[in-house]
Amino acid sequence: MRFIGRIIVLFLPLMPRFFIRWISKRYVAGETLVDALNVMESLSSENTCFTVDVLGEEINNILEASYFINEYNNVLEAIVEKNIDANISIKPTALGLLLDKNIATENLENLLNKAALNNIFVRLDMEDTRVTQPTIDLVYEMHNKGHKNVGTVLQARLFRTPEDVVKICSKLGHNADFRICKGIYLEPNDIAFTTYQDIVEATNVTIDSMLQKGAYVAIASHDEPVINHALNSLIKNDMGPKKSDPRDNSGPKLNGKGNGYEFQFLLGVRGDKRRKLAEEGHLTRIYLPYGSRWYEYSMRRLRENPEIATHVAKAFLLPWTNRR
């Protein structure tokens, strides 16, 4: 099946747009907020929660940020109105981080204020290494201003990540809140691991470090070796379903948060595993993207992560084995 997935990626440039649209329907909730709300409603019975991402990232003009600000404001209002168990994920470059840091900071702070009114958490997605440190610095600045409802993503494939974990936990204490993933942005081998096994091992080491340092850890992986390692690490830290967090976490618990950890899955990927973990009592969250830029998002996902194409092949050839 993986071979078929690689073939799909190889022929991506030749695939018509309608075929990419068919693929994206599994992993993208739709083009509008209404589409996203409908998908969340359909999946809410599966004992899961959500993080909503408005598709799009680096903007070319600071005025383009207004689209994302307006859309995220609408998302926050809809989450409250519909009483959905969800938070939001934002790419800092969509708010203008690479164009005008002051404006981007103001844009983010306004969204954090609105989210805080209803105790909603905001995740800053991690993009390529041009903005790794600026994104972390943005989290520091927001916490220094009293905004505790924000955390970031770290990519385990980067050599710098273990040191970032130590620094962030040292500065933020029990307010340190991570999503840890392998990282979808392909980076050169002088700053990042490039082989599957090395990346998996780096992810496992990072999960252990985050848990040991008392951070909230959102484990975002579809890989069985990572999920199994995380489950074993939770046991070693005396953490798990129906257990209070034994670590020194005295801060207030935000809406929708688990007892120190959660598992996250991309919409349309490993639904079987997500449901199993939820049945066992673990908090699970679906990363749910939507927006008009579905084509660019889908192409990047498929090019940079052939495993997604493998799931596409399975959905096409064996649909009864791969429920969303």
How distant, in Å, are the alpha carbons of 21, 23, 28, 35, 299 from that of 10? Answer: 17, 15, 22, 30, 12
Quote the tokens at residue 91. 């790419």
SS3 call for 285:
strand
For the chain, list residues with pLDDT below 70.
1-25, 248-253, 293-324
Residue extents of the structural domains in the chain: 29-290
CA 229 to chain centre: 19
Q: What is the C-alpha end-to-end distance of the chain, expressed in Å?
A: 18
Q: To 5 degrees, how large is the angle CA 8–CA 11–CA 290?
A: 65
pLDDT digits 0-9 by tens, 290-299: 987 655 565 5
Q: What are the residue numbers of the active site?
A: 125, 179
Rg of the chain, C-alpha, whole Å = 19
Written as one letter, the residue type at 2 is R
* DSSP one-letter string for 259-318: SSEEEEEETTS-HHHHHHHHHTT--EEEEEEESTTHHHHHHHHHHH-HHHHHHHHHHHH-
Alpha carbons 261 and 218: distance in angstroms, whole number: 6
Which pLDDT does position 273 carry in this prediction? Answer: 95
Quote the tokens at residue 35. 């589409």
Which pLDDT does position 313 carry in this prediction? Answer: 55
Quote the tokens at residue 98. 């690479």
SS3 call for 100:
coil
Q: To 5 degrees, how large is the angle CA 226–CA 298–CA 217?
A: 30
DSSP 91: -
pLDDT digits 0-9 by tens, 98-125: 999 999 999 999 999 999 999 999 999 9
Cβ-contact 312, 5 below 8 angstroms: yes
As its CATH architecture, domain 29-290 has Alpha-Beta Barrel (3.20)
Which residues 6+ apart lie within 8 Å of 94 measured at CB?
54, 56, 57, 58, 59, 65, 68
- Cβ density class 234-247: b for 16+ within 10 Å, e for less: beebebeeeeebeb
